[in-house]
Amino acid sequence: MKNNQYISIPELANILGISRIAVYKKVKKGQIKAVKIGRNFAIPKSYVAHIMGKALDEGHKRKIDKIIKKTVKEYGETLRLLGRP
């Protein structure tokens, strides 16, 4: 791909450490968003962090914060004791 906004399926496969076929199947199933350019698929670079699980939307962030607060409330003393040398 010559366009710097996108990466190819083989490039994404290399980043994820899976086969090209596995990435292609995920694109076909709609698990990975891609655009078709000619005969090839391209994945927006801005979407790669999301694919890799590094990007969280606000809903996921709120859910994680809620779980952390609950854990600290229920196990705070135990966590403090475990944190001591």
pLDDT tops 90 at residue 50: no
Could you read off the pLDDT of 15-49 as tens digits, one per residue?
A: 888 999 999 999 999 989 999 989 999 999 888 87
User: What gap in Å lies between CA 13 and CA 61, rounded to an integer?
Assistant: 27
Q: Which residue has the higher pLDDT, 49 or 77?
A: 77
Domain ranges of the chain: 1-54, 56-85
Report domain 1-54's class.
Answer: mainly alpha
Greater confidence (39 vs 3) lies with 39
Q: For residue 16, what are the contacts with CB-CB under 8 A and spacing of at least 6?
A: 23, 51, 52
Give the per-residue pLDDT at 55.
62
What pLDDT sits at residue 56?
66
